[in-house]
């Protein structure tokens, strides 16, 4: 006779309510796993999905993701001339926030050489790649744009020609791809009235410094910000070229910092992502511990509720395995059913979740194993208590 | 041959100066078909004697034999105490102690299944036993849906499930009114006679004394055999 099943059947409502409660907690654990991995996946998405061998950035900088890096636009030409380099392309990256689709949305602009340069979108799920030098853009579907749609950035209207899926920056914001000159223009373009005001203020400052009006007018262009800069240069190595020696050459002779894709990934993981990952990891561990404690308490309470029945079983001569099976089966049923429901809840929550959730099968399996171990541990504690229960407890009035 | 022989069985709790002799060396025997009562005030050692007979508590000294087979002689005689209980002893409790999530039939069948009887056979025999106890119509009811008297009948059914040689009843009528208590006593008498089981009943209930074949009195751990007249 399966006592565990009989007990569950008699107290089905209570058992289902318990499973629902535990499942909700476990689903938070599973979603937290997804947030943790999603944070890492988002953080390194651009690095992983930019088909390049080397990232060249400003000297002494850990850019272009962890800190800002600015290089003259034509630096990519000297990099391209380095022995072992097959191709070098300039790249512009910056975060922007604009009104799109009726709400203010943050995104990262990626400016790249649209005519065969590196750094463009890997796969366009709808529409096409940028084919014109100006006023075309590719946006990630997270922005809610479709091919044919339009967005005004700065003083120009841009037409969406393609849509990507899952293209995000390290904060999980969608990417917008523009041609390099467009990206630079959007970044540095100022409102005409603001430009006139800035020009007048600069002239006044120079005149106050003792320059004549003519001298001040001639010096004015040198005070204007230079928009002819890029944030990084992407390098594709020639077949057979040694990345390390090419990088060393650029460091020694061109005075740039050079990172391989692996190094760039490590910079991201140990820099910008490390604290967030540590916080999420800590929450994850705490949630797992809380879940195990709650499962343990429920299993223990389920056993304590039956302690008089267990004493009666011992008194009438039931062998220990009858009691062990009763407790273990209920504990496993609770853990397995809760995890299955939690898994279903996770699948329901994931599509509408505001951040990227990345689920690793091995991590889900590990969480399941930890929960199962927790359930087994809890049932062992309950079994230990049950087996120590004196049979004479059944005789008490 | 007596079903149960208890020879100079004593029980001492604690050691040294703190030792308390809960049961002084006690000798008695019960025959098959005999209905024996065990009277005594609270703390006199009645429950201790039942626990010692069923080997739930190991006696400090003495010898216990069941159907002539020695099961304890100043120490365990190498038997599995739980197997000994489920094969030889049926228990009836004051509070019935039915498993609350099993039906009346399942409560009775469980004891048989634990003793190795197949599920189907146990179910059939449980129904038969409940019929013998005139409660077959409540076989599929949960204990919570049974009256006190009905629960006690199911508990008796469970005690008889493995056809034990000895039935130990701990105040089986205490929670019942006089009429139901009398019916339970009559049932125990019927069981003792028809099944040739020995029945030992701990009771405070002087209303029921008339029905017993033998009455023992326990006072301060000392057992004495009394006549019915002495108990009034």
Q: Give tens-digit pLDDT for A199-233.
A: 788 888 888 888 888 888 887 777 665 567 889 99
Inter-chain contact A392–B170, Cβ cutoff 8 Å?
Answer: no
Inter-chain contact A319–B106, Cβ cutoff 8 Å?
Answer: no
Chosen from B55, B101, B201 to mutate, greatest number of chain A CBs within 10 A: B101
Inter-chain contact A313–B99, Cβ cutoff 8 Å?
Answer: yes
Q: What percent of chain B has pLDDT over 90?
A: 11
B71 CA: distance to closest CA in chain A (Å): 15
What pLDDT, on a 0 to 100 scale, did the predictor assign at position A347? 93
B89 to chain A: which residues are within 8 Å by CB?
Answer: 317
What pLDDT, on a 0 to 100 scale, did the predictor assign at position A343? 95
Strands B20-30 and B69-73: what pairing? Answer: unpaired
* Separation CA A121–CA A112 (nearest Å): 10
Domain interval for residue A379 = 3-43+273-395
Query: Residue A139 domain-assigned?
Result: no
What pLDDT, on a 0 to 100 scale, did the predictor assign at position A397? 44
Query: Residue A252 domain-assigned?
Result: no
Contact partners, residue A327, CB within 8 Å, separation at least 6: A4, A299, A302, A303, A379, A382, A383, A386
Inter-chain contact B101–A7, Cβ cutoff 8 Å?
Answer: yes
Cross-strand bridge partners of residue A175: A108
Distances (CA, A) of B159 to A172, A308, A335, B191: 69, 17, 36, 11
pLDDT in tens, B131-164: 888 888 989 999 999 988 888 889 888 888 888 8
What pLDDT, on a 0 to 100 scale, did the predictor assign at position B227? 60
Inter-chain contact A317–B119, Cβ cutoff 8 Å?
Answer: no
> Once rounded to an integer, what is the mean pLDDT over residues B110-130?
89
What pLDDT, on a 0 to 100 scale, did the predictor assign at position B104? 93
- Point out the residue among B50, B101, B115 whose CB comes nearest to the CB of A6: B101
Chosen from A317, A323, A396 to mutate, greatest number of chain B CBs within 10 A: A317
Comparing CA positions, the residue from B41, B37, B33 lying closest to residue B3 is: B33
Q: How much helix, strand and coil, in percent to the nearest 5, is found in chain A?
A: 55, 20, 25
Query: Residue A167 domain-assigned?
Result: no
What pLDDT, on a 0 to 100 scale, did the predictor assign at position A366? 93
A354 CA: distance to closest CA in chain B (Å): 46
Inter-chain contact A317–B83, Cβ cutoff 8 Å?
Answer: yes
> Once rounded to an integer, what is the mean pLDDT over residues A249-256?
87
pLDDT in tens, A33-68: 999 999 888 888 888 888 889 999 988 887 788 778
> Once rounded to an integer, what is the mean pLDDT over residues B96-115?
90
Distances (CA, A) of A84 to A75, A87, A262: 16, 9, 19
Residue A150 forms contact with B (CB below 8 Å): no
Chosen from B57, B82, B204 to mutate, greatest number of chain A CBs within 10 A: B82
Contact partners, residue A226, CB within 8 Å, separation at least 6: none
Considering only CA atoms, give the Rg of chain B. Answer: 18
Backbone dihedral angles phi then psi of residue A301, each to the nearest 5 degrees = -65, -40
B33 CA: distance to closest CA in chain A (Å): 21
B97 to chain A: which residues are within 8 Å by CB?
Answer: 308-309, 312, 394
Q: Kindly identify which residue of chain A lies nearest to residue B169, measuring between CA atoms.
A: A395
Q: Is the dihedral of CA A56, A61, A63, A69 positive or negative?
A: negative
A393 CA: distance to closest CA in chain B (Å): 10
Residue A390 forms contact with B (CB below 8 Å): yes
Does residue A264 register a pLDDT over 80? yes
pTM for this one? 0.74
Chain B interface with A: residues with Cβ < 8 Å: 47, 50-51, 54, 56-57, 82-87, 89, 91, 93-95, 97, 99-102, 106, 109-111, 113-115, 119, 142, 158, 170
> DSSP 3-state assignment of B46?
helix
Contact A245, A84 (CB under 8 A): yes
Chosen from B99, B141, B157 to mutate, greatest number of chain A CBs within 10 A: B99
> Once rounded to an integer, what is the mean pLDDT over residues A337-346?
94
> Once rounded to an integer, what is the mean pLDDT over residues A296-301?
87
Q: Kindly identify which residue of chain A lies nearest to residue B141, measuring between CA atoms.
A: A10
pLDDT-based confidence at residue A396 (cuts at 50, 70, 90) = low
pLDDT-based confidence at residue B228 (cuts at 50, 70, 90) = low
Residue A13 forms contact with B (CB below 8 Å): no
Contact A356, A171 (CB under 8 A): no
Superfamily of domain B4-231: P-loop containing nucleotide triphosphate hydrolases (3.40.50.300)
Domain locations in chain B as residue ranges: 4-231
Does residue B52 register a pLDDT over 50? yes
Query: Residue A100 domain-assigned?
Result: no
- Point out the residue among A7, A10, A318 whose CB comes nearest to the CB of B114: A318
> DSSP 3-state assignment of A93?
strand
Query: Residue A250 domain-assigned?
Result: no
Q: What percent of chain A has pLDDT over 70?
A: 96
B115 CA: distance to closest CA in chain A (Å): 8
Q: Kindly identify which residue of chain A lies nearest to residue B162, measuring between CA atoms.
A: A316
Give the range among A346-350, B15-19, B127-131 with minimum mean pLDDT. B15-19
B15 CA: distance to closest CA in chain A (Å): 21
Query: Residue A9 domain-assigned?
Result: yes
B25 CA: distance to closest CA in chain A (Å): 22
Query: Residue A296 domain-assigned?
Result: yes
> Once rounded to an integer, what is the mean pLDDT over residues B16-42?
86
> DSSP 3-state assignment of B48?
helix
A274 CA: distance to closest CA in chain B (Å): 53
Comparing CA positions, the residue from A171, A169, A173, A167 lying closest to residue A140 is: A167
> Once rounded to an integer, what is the mean pLDDT over residues A138-146?
91
Contact A334, A299 (CB under 8 A): yes
- Residue by residue, DSSP assigns A368-394 as HHHHHHHHHHHHHHHHHHHHHS-GGGG
What pLDDT, on a 0 to 100 scale, did the predictor assign at position A68? 81
């Amino acid at each position: 006779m399966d006592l565990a099943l009989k007990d569950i059947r008699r107290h089905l409502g209570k058992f289902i309510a318990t499973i629902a409660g535990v499942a909700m907690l476990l689903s938070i654990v599973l979603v937290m796993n997804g947030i943790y991995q999603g944070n890492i996946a988002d953080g390194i998405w651009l690095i992983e999905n930019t088909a390049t061998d080397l990232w060249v950035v400003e000297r002494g900088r850990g850019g272009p993701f962890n800190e800002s890096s600015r290089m003259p636009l034509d630096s990519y030409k000297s990099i391209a001339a380095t022995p072992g380099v097959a191709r070098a392309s300039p790249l512009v990256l910056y975060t922007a926030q604009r009104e799109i689709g009726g709400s203010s949305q943050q995104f990262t602009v990626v400016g790249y050489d649209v005519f065969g340069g590196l750094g463009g979108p890997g796969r366009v799920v709808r529409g096409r790649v940028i084919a014109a030098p100006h006023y075309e853009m590719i946006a990630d579907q997270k922005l809610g744009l479709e091919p044919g749609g339009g967005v005004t950035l700065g003083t120009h209207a841009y037409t969406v020609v393609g849509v990507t899926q899952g293209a995000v920056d390290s904060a999980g914001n969608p990417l917008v791809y523009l041609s390099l000159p467009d990206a630079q223009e959007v970044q540095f373009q100022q409102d005409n009235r603001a430009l006139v005001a800035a020009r007048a203020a600069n002239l006044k400052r120079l005149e106050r410094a003792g320059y004549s009006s003519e001298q001040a007018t001639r010096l004015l262009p040198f005070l204007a910000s230079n928009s002819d800069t890029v944030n990084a240069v992407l390098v594709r190595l020639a077949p057979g070229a040694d990345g390390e020696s090419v990088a060393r050459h650029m460091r020694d002779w061109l005075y740039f910092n050079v990172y391989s894709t692996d190094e760039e990934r490590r910079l991201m993981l140990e820099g910008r992502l490390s604290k967030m990952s540590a916080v999420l990891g800590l929450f994850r561990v705490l949630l797992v511990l809380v879940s195990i404690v709650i499962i343990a308490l429920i299993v223990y309470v389920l056993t304590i509720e039956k302690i008089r029945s267990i004493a009666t079983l011992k008194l009438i001569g039931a062998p220990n395995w009858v009691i062990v099976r009763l407790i273990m089966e209920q504990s496993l049923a609770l853990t397995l059913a809760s995890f299955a429901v939690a898994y279903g809840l996770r699948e329901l929550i994931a599509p509408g979740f505001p951040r990227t959730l990345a689920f690793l099968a091995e991590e889900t399996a590990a969480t399941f194993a930890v929960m199962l171990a927790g359930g087994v541990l809890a049932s062992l504690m309950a079994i230990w208590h049950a087996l120590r229960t004196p049979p004479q407890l059944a005789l008490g009035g | 041959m007596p079903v149960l022989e208890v020879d100079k069985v004593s029980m001492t709790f604690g050691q040294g100066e703190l030792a308390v002799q809960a049961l002084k060396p006690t000798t008695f025997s019960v025959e098959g078909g005999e209905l024996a009562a065990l009277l005594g005030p609270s703390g006199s050692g009645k429950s201790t004697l039942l626990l010692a007979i069923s080997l739930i508590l190991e006696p400090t000294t003495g010898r216990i034999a069941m159907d002539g087979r020695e099961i304890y002689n100043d120490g365990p005689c190498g038997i599995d105490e739980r197997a000994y209980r489920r094969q030889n002893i049926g228990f009836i409790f004051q509070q019935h102690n039915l498993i609350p999530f099993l039906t009346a039939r399942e409560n009775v069948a469980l004891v048989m299944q634990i003793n190795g009887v197949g599920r189907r056979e146990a179910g059939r025999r449980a129904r038969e036993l409940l019929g013998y106890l005139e409660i077959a119509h409540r076989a599929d009811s949960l204990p919570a849906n049974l009256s006190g008297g009905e629960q006690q009948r199911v508990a008796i059914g469970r005690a008889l499930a493995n056809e034990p040689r000895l039935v130990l009843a701990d105040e089986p009528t205490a929670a019942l009114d006089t009429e139901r208590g009398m019916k339970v006593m009559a049932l125990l008498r019927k069981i003792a006679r028809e099944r040739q089981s020995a029945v030992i009943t701990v009771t405070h209930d002087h209303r029921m004394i008339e029905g017993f074949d033998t009455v023992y009195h326990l006072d301060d751990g000392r057992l004495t055999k009394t006549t019915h007249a002495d108990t009034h």
